[in-house]
Each structure stands twice: as C-alpha cells, then as structure tokens.
C-alpha cells in the first residue's frame, strides 16, 4: 500500500482545516442572519427588539385580556428613550382577519404611562377580542424621533368564529352619517408603485369642511393585507401640504386640534405585494372619531 508523501499529507490537513473553518464561518453567518431578522433597523442606528405577550396566555373570545409589549435593545436592556409621536408613546392597531373588528388603542388610554413601564420597557393595553380566529396586532413607536413598526399575529379561541374576508371593492360608503368616496390615482393599483388615494367627505350632498385632526394628523390609516402578512400605519395629508405618509422616518407632526379642513384627504401608499388589502381610516368630526373601511385589490 502506497503512502502519501509529507507534502500531500500537509495539503490534506490544510484543506480539511480550511473546510472546517469555512463551515464555522458559514454557520456563524447564518446564525447572525437569523438573529438580525428579530431586529428593527432605521436611520440613526437604533435597534429594538419588540415582543408581545398576553394575559391570559390562551385568549378566548368575549373575555377581557391584557396585551403586553416588551421593548429591548440588542443587549437585552429595556428601551427607555421612547419619544411621543402623534400625541402617544405607542400606537397599537388590532384587526380581525375577516376585517369586521378594528381598534386603534394606546397604553395612555388605560391610565398614565408610569416610570416603571419606561424603566422595564413593558407597556400593556387591554382589549376584549369579540370573535374567535386570527388577529393582526400592529405596533408603532419612536425612539429618539425615529419610527419603528412591527406586527404580530394572535390566535383567539371560542365562539363565535370569524369567517373569511369578503371581497368588496365598493368605492362609496356611508360611515356615521358621512358619505365617503374613495378612489386611487393613478389606476390600476400595482405593487411597488406609489398610489394616491383620495377620500372625499359629504353630508346630505354637501361637502364636509369641518373635519378635525385625529392625533395630530388629518387622518390615521392602517393598511392590512388579507393574509395578515403586511401592515402599514400611515397618515393622511391635505392637498398641497408637505408629505407625512409612510416614508416619513423622522417626523414631528403637530396639526392643531382646532384646525378644520375638508372635504378631501389624500393618502400615499406603496403596496409590497399583490392581493387584497383593507384600508381602515380614522378622522375627527364634531368631537367624534369616524372610522372608514375600504378594500383595494393590488395587481
């Protein structure tokens, strides 16, 4: 039996070492990539891990529950330097998969944000899920003025059970006594291209010109895909006003609550994928918050 020369033995050892080292490097890279999927990256170098939990752990339709959000940095320390944006520290959006349930709530709605919440990075809200099924929970917050957006899915047991979302592309509907028309420009709506949606509000056939800001914006909107994979919290604009939509990463919008406007509000949206999306909108009128809901098909 022939033996390898010392040179061949050295080369085999060298190649083996290189192979093992490259394996460790690739494994380390894959691990780093997996870890990075849990982080949010925005301008300013901020990184935040957002997690959600519930009490009770198993949610049941009709029973009150607490939804608890925990915010930590990459080292596992609580994020304490949140900044108020649109009048609140955190914005929480909850919607059912059949799009018949919608809520836009905040920790401040249930009492003051305490020093303990800020110190631990734990912020609760309370909600009663009325139907069994899947819900999307969107979370928006700002750190040192830079915006973060995350979303989670929660399963609710019990009865009654929700159905599937119904396709309804109607562009004119009535909400709380206001007739609202909804239309995109330019059409058709396609992925990756900005579209401007126009809302026009009327009452008894006359333009409504006394709409009121809601949380320092002409309109708050939640754009949610039918598969609950995509969530966008964006804001309406008045024709001719500076942009404050989904691409505004560092903003401090303060629209005076006393300002009146109407009848038209515009919303700029870029859809990430094809499919059906529900667009929930909230605008103030006569001291109330009017909730609108329209569906759009993206091609």
CA atoms of 151 and 219, how far apart (whole Å): 21
pLDDT in tens, 22-69: 332 222 222 222 222 333 444 356 789 999 999 999 999 999 999 999
**Is residue 257 very low, low, confident or very high in pLDDT (cuts 50, 70, 90)?**
low
CATH architecture of 172-298: Sandwich (2.60)
Query: 17-26, 56-65, 230-239 — which is least confidently predicted?
Result: 17-26
User: In this structure, what is the dihedral angle of CA atoms 38, 234, 173, 191, given to the nearest 10 degrees?
Assistant: -70
pLDDT value, residue 186: 80
CA atoms of 200 and 188, how far apart (whole Å): 19
Mean pLDDT of all residues belonging to the chain: 84
Domain boundaries, the chain: 41-157, 172-298
Q: What is the DSSP string of 31-97?
A: HHHHHHTT-EE-TTS-EEEEEEEEESSSEETTSEEEEEEEEE-TTS-B---EE-BTTBSEEEEEEET
What is the 8-class DSSP label of residue 4? P
**Is 41-157 in CATH node 2.60.40.1930?**
yes
Distances (CA, A) of 206 to 174, 186, 262: 14, 26, 11
pLDDT value, residue 253: 56
Q: Does pTM top 0.75 for this prediction?
A: yes
Checking if the pLDDT of 250 tops 60, the result is: no
Q: What is the mean pLDDT of residues 216-230?
A: 97
**Is residue 17 very low, low, confident or very high in pLDDT (cuts 50, 70, 90)?**
very low
Length of the chain (residues): 299
pLDDT value, residue 254: 66
CA atoms of 178 and 285, how far apart (whole Å): 10
Given a contact cutoff of 8 angstroms between Cβ atoms, the answer to whether 129 and 59 are in contact is yes
């Amino acid at each position: 039996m022939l033996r390898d020369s010392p040179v061949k033995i050295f080369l085999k050892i060298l190649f083996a070492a290189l192979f093992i080292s490259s394996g460790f490097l690739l494994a380390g890279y894959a691990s780093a990539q997996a870890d990075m999927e849990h982080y949010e990256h925005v301008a300013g170098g901020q990184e935040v891990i957002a997690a959600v939990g519930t009490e009770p752990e198993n949610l049941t339709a009709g029973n009150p529950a607490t939804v608890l959000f925990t915010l930590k940095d990459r080292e596992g320390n609580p994020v304490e330097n949140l900044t108020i944006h649109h009048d609140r520290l955190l914005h929480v959006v909850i919607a059912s998969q059949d799009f018949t349930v919608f809520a836009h709530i905040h920790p401040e709605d249930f009492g003051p944000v305490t020093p303990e919440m800020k110190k631990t990075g734990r912020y609760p809200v309370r909600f009663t899920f009325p139907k069994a099924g899947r819900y999307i929970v969107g979370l928006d917050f700002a750190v040192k003025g830079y915006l973060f957006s995350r979303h989670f899915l929660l399963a609710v047991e019990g009865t009654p059970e929700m159905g599937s979302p119904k396709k309804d592309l109607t562009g004119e509907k009535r909400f709380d006594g206001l007739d609202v028309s909804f239309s995109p420009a330019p059409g058709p709506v396609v992925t990756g291209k900005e579209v401007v949606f126009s809302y026009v509000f009327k009452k008894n056939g006359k333009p409504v010109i006394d709409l009121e800001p809601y949380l320092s914006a002409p309109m708050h909107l939640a754009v949610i895909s039918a598969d609950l994979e995509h969530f966008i919290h964006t804001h309406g604009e008045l024709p001719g006003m500076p942009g404050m939509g989904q691409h505004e990463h560092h903003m401090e919008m303060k629209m005076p609550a006393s300002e009146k406007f109407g009848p038209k509000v515009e919303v700029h949206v870029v859809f990430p994928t094809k499919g059906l999306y529900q667009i929930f909108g909230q605008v103030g009128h006569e001291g109330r918050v009017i909730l609108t809901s329209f569906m759009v098909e993206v091609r």
